[in-house]
């Protein structure tokens, strides 16, 4: 199949592009390289350096004629979305709608969207959160993702555009940016490799559901053959505190550096983990990597200077 992947030079989607190409698909990538990196790009993918809101994107749809659009390009920083909700909405809603217009115009067979489970439900009314949990995001990031979900459902109603919406837990793994604002696993690992003090905002008892990037890629591969429209959570169903996460990484790395605790930051939930039983039932997906296995692979990646410098 021909698959157009937006954000394909970024952390998750570049791993996904590799997987799609290994499966024998023809892949084109759109990325503005703001957070993505050229070094992440698979040389067998066609690359277009531009914003998803660029009018030239329509020409890519016309010439490449994708069967599948997999939309990962996004403003992903929760804290930035709190500080600048207009910028967040521009990328995650307005620019993204262009992709829907082109998809229905040029006969795309399925639209796969990377949404969020970690930021969508807000402070949970019950745990683990399933897909029917009330939507009460605490930051513009979660709200913008949910808004686009509804545009996608609208395009299905109006134009019969098939879709799969994947609500991710906290994804980690190789190629995650250790210098950014998001991605605590990569940030902790980068700090510890340099012998620097890791920083924890709040008391460190806030908990997350951490899922390895290879498991997320497998779900995106399986989404191609889904026979119905789906909205599913993708997580491990395990609750791990930030303090415990740091302890696990330190154990793997053989370090013992006391973290620095800083004030809490707005827009982040205190506890969240996901019920992914629907993905297991309808997509035949469940995570295959344990936390220790995923962290070990991630640490080994960042220990390799040639890879971590990319």
Per-residue pLDDT of the chain (310 residues; tens, 9 = 90+): 999 999 999 999 999 999 999 999 999 999 999 989 999 999 999 999 999 999 999 999 999 999 999 999 987 666 676 677 787 888 899 999 999 999 999 999 999 999 999 899 999 999 999 999 999 998 888 999 999 999 999 999 999 999 999 999 999 999 998 866 568 999 999 999 999 999 999 999 999 999 999 999 999 999 999 999 999 999 999 999 999 999 999 999 999 999 999 998 877 789 999 999 999 999 999 999 999 999 999 999 999 866 554 4
Closest CA to 13 of 62, 54, 74: 74
Tell me what pLDDT residue 269 has.
Answer: 85
Catalytic status, residue 141: yes
CATH of domain 2-171+211-236+273-288: 3.40.50.720
**From 20, 121, 141, 273, active-site residue:** 141
Tell me what pLDDT residue 257 has.
Answer: 97
| Residues 168-217 pLDDT 10s | 999 999 999 886 656 899 999 999 999 999 999 999 999 999 999 999 99
Tell me what pLDDT residue 88 has.
Answer: 81
| Residues 245-256 pLDDT 10s | 999 999 999 999
CA–CA gap between residue 129 and residue 136 (Å, rounded): 12
Tell me what pLDDT residue 91 has.
Answer: 87
Sheet containing 46-49: order of strands: 46-49, 26-31, 2-6, 68-71, 110-116, 163-168, 230-234
SS (H, E, C) the chain: CEEEEECCCCHHHHHHHHHHHHCCCEEEEEECCCCCCHHHCCCCCEEEECCCCCCCHHHHHHHHCCCEEEECCCCCCHHHHHHCHHHHHHHHHHHHHHHHHHHHHCCCCEEEEEEECCCCCCCCCCCCECCCCCCCCCCHHHHHHHHHHHHHHHHHHHHCCCEEEEEECEEECCCCCCCCCCCHHHHHHHHHHCCCCCEEECCCCCEECEEEHHHHHHHHHHHCCCCCCEEEEECCCCCEEHHHHHHHHHHHHCCCCCCEEECCCCCCCCECCECCHHHHHHHCCCCCCCHHHHHHHHHHHHHCHHHHCC
CA–CA gap between residue 175 and residue 268 (Å, rounded): 23
Q: Per-domain residue ranges for the chain?
A: 2-171+211-236+273-288
Tell me what pLDDT residue 77 has.
Answer: 66
Are the C-beta atoms of residues 140 and 82 closer than 8 Å to each other?
yes
CA–CA gap between residue 32 and residue 14 (Å, rounded): 13
């Amino acid at each position: 199949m021909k698959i157009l992947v937006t954000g394909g030079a970024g952390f998750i989607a570049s791993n996904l592009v590799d997987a799609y190409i290994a499966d024998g698909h023809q892949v084109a990538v759109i990325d503005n390289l703001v957070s993505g990196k050229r070094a992440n790009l698979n040389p067998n993918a066609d690359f277009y350096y531009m914003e998803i809101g660029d009018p030239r994107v329509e020409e890519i749809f016309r010439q490449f004629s994708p069967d599948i659009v997999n939309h990962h390009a996004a403003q992903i920083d929760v804290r930035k979305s709190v500080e600048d909700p207009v910028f967040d909405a521009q990328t995650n809603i307005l620019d993204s709608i262009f992709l829907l217009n082109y998809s229905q115009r040029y006969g795309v067979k399925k639209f796969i969207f990377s949404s969020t489970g970690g930021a969508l439900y807000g402070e949970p009314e019950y745990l683990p959160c399933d897909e029917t949990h009330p939507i009460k995001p605490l930051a513009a990031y979660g709200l913008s993702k949910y808004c686009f979900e509804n545009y996608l459902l609208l395009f299905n109603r109006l134009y019969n555009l098939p879709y799969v919406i994947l609500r991710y837990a906290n994804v980690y793994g190789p190629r995650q940016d250790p210098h950014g604002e998001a991605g605590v696993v990569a940030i902790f690992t980068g700090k510890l490799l340099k012998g620097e003090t890791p920083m924890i905002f709040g008391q460190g008892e806030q908990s997350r559901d951490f899922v390895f990037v290879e498991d997320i890629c497998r779900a995106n591969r399986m989404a191609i053959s889904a026979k119905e429209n789906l909205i599913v959570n993708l997580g491990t169903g395990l609750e791990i505190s930030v303090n415990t996460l740091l302890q696990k990484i330190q154990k793997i790395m053989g370090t013992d550096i006391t973290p620095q605790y800083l004030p809490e930051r707005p827009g982040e939930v205190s506890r969240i983990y996901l019920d992914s039983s629907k993905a297991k039932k309808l997509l035949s997906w469940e995570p295959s990597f344990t936390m220790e296995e995923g962290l070990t692979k991630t640490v080994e990646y960042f220990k390799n200077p040639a890879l971590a410098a990319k």
